[in-house]
Amino acid sequence: MSPANFRDDMDDLVHSPVRFSLLASLARVDSADYQSLKEALDVSYPLLSKHAALLNEAGYIRVQKTSVGGIGKTRYRLTNKGRVAFEKHVRALERIIDGRAFTVHGSESPPTSRKLETGHQRP
């Protein structure tokens, strides 16, 4: 398989570092609040809002806004569509790391495995 095939498996929407980290984080939990997510990703509020809005528009995450005692609270949850897209992207990245995406002279040695837990058992 050529590198182009692996690139095809990669989702442009997921590929951004912030969005990829956001999806990876949400894949490991049930749901998370805005503040915790901001601290875990170590990004600014506007940046998190911007990337979360893009993922929400694509249907990859679900944003739930509530008010508790007059204080607004926002929670994020990964959707099934988002989980599928994320897992597909992770698999493509892992194939690249394993060297299976590159067939040029077979010069590179197999790297160490860096599996990212997606929260789902793969078949």
Partner 1 sequence: MTPPDKTPTSRADAARSLAEAKESASRLEGALSTGEGWWTIDSAALALVIISGALRTGQGVGYGYMLVVLPAAVILARYRRSAERVHPRKYQLWYSMASVWCLVFGVAGGWYWLIWDPQGPRPVWLTCAVALVAALPLALVGGRLVAGSRSR
Name the site residues for partner 1 (rule: CB under 8 A).
2-4, 7, 10, 15, 17, 20-33, 35-37, 39-42, 66, 68-69, 71, 73, 75, 90, 93-94, 96-97, 99, 101-104, 108, 111, 114, 116-117, 119
Residue 13 or 27 with smaller CB distance to partner 1: 27
Residue 80: both structure tokens together: 């099934």
Residue 22 or 55 with smaller CB distance to partner 1: 22
Least spacing, CB of residue 22 vs partner 1, in Å: 8
Is 23 exposed, middle or buried, given 0-12, 13-18 or 19+ CB atoms closer than 10 A? buried
76, 52 Cβ separation under 8 angstroms:
yes
108, 102 Cβ separation under 8 angstroms:
yes
109, 38 Cβ separation under 8 angstroms:
no
Least spacing, CB of residue 44 vs partner 1, in Å: 15
